Structure 1
Amino acid sequence: MRLSRRLTAMATLLIVLLGTAPIASATEPAPKPIRALLVCGGCCHDYETQKELIAKGLAERAHIEVTVVHQGGTVNTSKIPLYENPDWAKGYDVVIHDECFSQVKDSDYIARILKPHKEGLPAVVIHCAMHCYRDGSDNWFQFCGVTSRRHGKRYPHEVVNRDPQHPIMVDFGASWFNPAGELYWIEKVWPTAHPLASSKNQETGGDEVCVWTNQYEKGRVFGTTLGHHNETVSHPAFLDLLTRGTLWACDKLNNQYFKSTPPRSAPAHPTPKGR
Structure 2
Amino acid sequence: MKRFLLIFPALAALATTVLLFAAEPPPPPAPAGGNVSPLKVLMVCGGCCHDYENQKRILAEGLSARANVEFTIVHEEGPEGKKDKTHRISIYEKEDWAKGYDLVLHNECFGAVEDVAFVERIAKPHKEGVPAVVLHCSAHSYRAAKTDEWRKVVGQKSMSHEKNRDLLVKNTAPEHPVMKGFPKEWLNPKDELYKNEELYPGFVPLAKAYGEDTKKEHHVIWVNTYEKGKVFGTTLGHNNSTMESPEYLDLVARGLLWACGKLDDSGKPVAGYGPVQK
Task: For residue 173 of structure 1, report the CA deviation from its aligned partner.
Answer: 3.1
Distance in 2 separating the partners of 1:135 and 1:90: 24
Show the counterpart of 2:72.
67
Per-residue displacement from partner, 1:188-219 (whole Å, max 9, x unpaired)? 22121000000111233211100000000101
Equivalent position amino acid for 1:195 in 2? P
Give the RMSD, CA atoms, in angstroms.
1.7
Distance in 1 separating the partners of 2:275 and 2:88: 36
Task: For residue 111 of structure 1, report the CA deviation from its aligned partner.
Answer: 1.6
1:35-184 correspondence to structure 2 within 5 Å: 35-73=40-78, 74-133=83-142, 134-184=144-194
2:275 aligned with 1:259: yes
2:207 aligned with 1:197: yes
Per-residue displacement from partner, 1:37-80 (whole Å, max 9, x unpaired)? 00001111000010000011110011011111001331100012
Contiguous gaps of at least 5 residues in structure 2: 1-29, 264-268
Equivalent position amino acid for 2:107 in 1? D
Equivalent position amino acid for 2:191 in 1? G
Determine helix, strand or coil for the equivalent of 2:120.
helix
Which deviates further from its counterpart, 199-208 or 229-238?
199-208
TM-score by length of 2: 0.81
Aligned length: 236
| Structure with the bigger percentage of helix | 1
Distance in 2 separating the partners of 1:191 and 1:112: 21
Contact 2:47 2:109 in 1 (8 A): yes
Distance in 2 separating the partners of 1:181 and 1:109: 30
1:220 pairs, out of 210, 230, 250, with 230
Equivalent position amino acid for 1:69 in 2? V
Per-residue displacement from partner, 1:156-212 (whole Å, max 9, x unpaired)? 111100100000001113121212211111112212100000011123321110000
Distance in 1 separating the partners of 2:276 and 2:45: 29
Contiguous gaps of at least 5 residues in structure 1: 1-24, 262-275
Show the counterpart of 1:7.
none
Per-residue displacement from partner, 1:73-94 (whole Å, max 9, x unpaired)? 3110001211111121111000
Per-residue displacement from partner, 1:217-273 (whole Å, max 9, x unpaired)? 101011100011111111111111110000000011134212277xxxxxxxxxxxx
Distance in 1 separating the partners of 2:127 and 2:275: 30
Per-residue displacement from partner, 1:97-135 (whole Å, max 9, x unpaired)? 111111111111112111111110001111111111131
Show the counterpart of 1:271.
none
Distance in 1 separating the partners of 2:276 and 2:169: 27
Instruction: Give the 4+ runs in structure 1 shifted more than 6 A.
Output: none
Contact 2:68 2:276 in 1 (8 A): no
Contact 2:122 2:150 in 1 (8 A): no
Show the counterpart of 1:270.
none
1:2-41 correspondence to structure 2 within 5 Å: 29-41=34-46
Determine helix, strand or coil for the equivalent of 2:170.
strand
Show the counterpart of 2:221.
211
TM-score by length of 1: 0.82
Contact 2:64 2:70 in 1 (8 A): yes
Distance in 2 separating the partners of 1:207 and 1:255: 33
